[in-house]
Amino acid sequence: MDVPLYLRPRVEPPLASLLGAAPFLHSLVDALGSPLNVLLLETVAENAARFRAVYRRHRLTGRIYFAHKANRSSALVRRLAAEDPAAVGIDVASLEELRHALGCGFTGDRVMATGPKDAEFLWLAARVGATVNLDSPGELDRLAGLVRGHGLGRVRVLARLSGFESADGKNGAGTRLLSRRSRFGTPVRDADALWAALERHADAVELVGLAYHLDTTGLEEKARALEQCVLLMDACRRRGLAPRAVDIGGGFGVGYVADAGEWQRWTTALSEAVLGGRPPLTWRGHGYGLRNEGGTVRGTMALYPGHRPHAGPGYLDELLSLPAPVLGREPGTLLLEHLHDLHIEPGRSLVDQCGLSLARVLDVRSTGEEPGAHLVRLGMNAGDVSLEEHGVLMDPVLLPRGDARQDDGREGGEGAGAPVGVHLVGNLCLEADLITRRLVFLPRLPRAGDVLAFVNTAGYAMDFHAHQAQRQPSARTVAVEREGDSWRWCPDEDYWPITHPGGTPA
């Protein structure tokens, strides 16, 4: 076998030191079972501060709304509720998320209600003074009806827009930048009808800004949408509406894999394997969207870009610094000089480096087919750590049972074994229950009783698809905090920002 094709995760402190505390993590799994989710609350606050630093660099005001759907944890939401109310809010996309956010300490004025909303969700959002990010003109009508019918106060709304490519008239002849179609928001070509509806419902709602969220990693598409919003804000003002904020949604991204070279070697090897030039890198030769048509690779690699040099706050900074297509100024400058606030709704990037998912190794055996490859069965299933579901590929970290120093395979000590390719399979009696379809390389063959730590899972990977199929246990979640040289923990539901994990007031 050639050099093991590692995809080692990016691990920064304090997550790195938590991984160094293998006996502590083993004791947690012993006590609370496998799988187990672990959250680091200080990191989420630090991430918010990094986004704030980008705002300061561009002299911008506005709020960071945590996209709650990235993680259902109470501890994360409570920790963010403790941040400066003027700087940090929460984006909720369901009635239960709204109730949870309120219960965790967010006041209604810090809440942004997004996505399509049913009547109960709209009523509670309006009742507590949340800002309603309108998904459609129909939703506006329903909201206005509720406000009038139930004597609610005037509700602050943002208008979510979509379909920016059709609004490209001014963008110079000859060039058309395409975007993926979205099922959310009001298409820009229907904006006039939306403004008219907002004027009609002026007694019930107050337009405070415009919003968009584009599902793309492409900066140019986002810069164009942002600029279109600045132009449309002006159109609103001409009609006498007074919006002040542009909400650019989320999608700032996370870099999962530490080393660009590892990511590049692996993706190249995938193409080669699809062409048959090397043994498969995946279970049953899965191509992650690539296929072999007569010796040529066709299709698109359906994988999250594992290594990203600019992600999270760095990506926002880049977006704000890009020249805008029509007005020529950078989006950051445009917002500033038009006196607009900037709102963002980061999910994944705000919980970067905030979480771990732990699984106990239950069984290790040879595949019998691929030489050297093994099946490693874990005490979790594909629903518990939905990395594969989101196209995210990275190696778990092996936490050996017992004395880590003697057993550390990467040091290549006596009896430590050599790097080995393994298939990670789940605890369901289903062929399809693979934690990842990728052949994962580990520094040595794990043994039953070891723990594998999937890092950086707090964004969408922790419990997004968790279920209790086959009556297997779902992961419990704990919040951990460093205390001197040791670590303390408490159940997610018991964490409050005023107490140390463990329950004693700070």
Q: How far is the CB of 333 from other proteins (least distance, A)?
A: 7
Q: Which of 3, 339, 432, 506 binds other proteins (CB under 8 A)?
A: 339
**Residue 278 in the binding site for other proteins (CB under 8 A):** no
> Is-cis flag, bond preceding 35, omega within 30?
yes
What whole-number distance in Å separates Cα of residue 14 and Cα of residue 165?
Answer: 42
What whole-number distance in Å separates Cα of residue 122 and Cα of residue 322?
Answer: 36
Q: Which of 42, 59, 120, 410 binds other proteins (CB under 8 A)?
A: 59
Q: Which of 2, 151, 183, 300 binds other proteins (CB under 8 A)?
A: 300
Q: Which of 6, 184, 195, 288 binds other proteins (CB under 8 A)?
A: 288
List, in sequence order, every residue forming a beta bridge with 282; answer none if it has no partner. Answer: 438
CB-wise, 267 or 381, nearer to other proteins? 267
What whole-number distance in Å separates Cα of residue 478 and Cα of residue 460?
Answer: 17
Q: How far is the CB of 143 from other proteins (least distance, A)?
A: 26
Applying CB under 8 A, the span of 2-10, 27-35, 234-242, 465-473 interacting with other proteins comes to 234-242
Q: Which of 391, 417, 473, 491 binds other proteins (CB under 8 A)?
A: 391
What whole-number distance in Å separates Cα of residue 403 and Cα of residue 23?
Answer: 8
Q: How far is the CB of 347 from other proteins (least distance, A)?
A: 9
Here's the x/- map for other proteins, 453-492, by CB under 8 A: it reads as -------x--------------------------------
Q: Are 341 and 62 in contact (CB under 8 A)?
A: yes
- Applying the rule CB under 8 A, the residues between 98 and 137 that interact with other proteins are none
Size of the site for other proteins (CB under 8 A): 60
Applying CB under 8 A, the span of 107-115, 356-364, 386-394, 443-451 interacting with other proteins comes to 386-394
C-alpha torsion 266→269→275→280, nearest 10? -80
Applying CB under 8 A, the span of 128-136, 334-342, 367-375, 492-500 interacting with other proteins comes to 334-342
Backbone region of residue 475 per phi and psi (left: phi > 0; alpha: psi in -120 to 50; beta: other values): beta
CB-wise, 294 or 505, nearer to other proteins? 294
Q: How far is the CB of 61 from other proteins (least distance, A)?
A: 8
What whole-number distance in Å separates Cα of residue 164 and Cα of residue 361?
Answer: 49
Q: How far is the CB of 71 from other proteins (least distance, A)?
A: 14
Q: How far is CA 379 from CA 11, 105, 357, 424, in A?
A: 23, 34, 11, 11
CB-wise, 390 or 476, nearer to other proteins? 390
Q: Dihedral of CA 350/352/358/361: which sign?
A: positive
Q: Please, which residues have CB within 8 angstroms of residue 362's CB and are 6 or more apart in sequence?
A: 377, 378, 379, 427, 448
**Residue 296 in the binding site for other proteins (CB under 8 A):** yes
Which stretches within 104-150 are classed as H helix? 119-127, 137-149
CB-wise, 369 or 431, nearer to other proteins? 431
What whole-number distance in Å separates Cα of residue 321 and Cα of residue 315?
Answer: 10
Helix (H) or strand (E) holding 410: none
Residues near other proteins (CB under 8 A): 59, 172-180, 215-221, 230-231, 234, 237-238, 250-251, 253, 260, 264, 267-268, 271-272, 275, 277, 288-289, 294-300, 302-305, 327-329, 333-334, 336-339, 388-391, 460
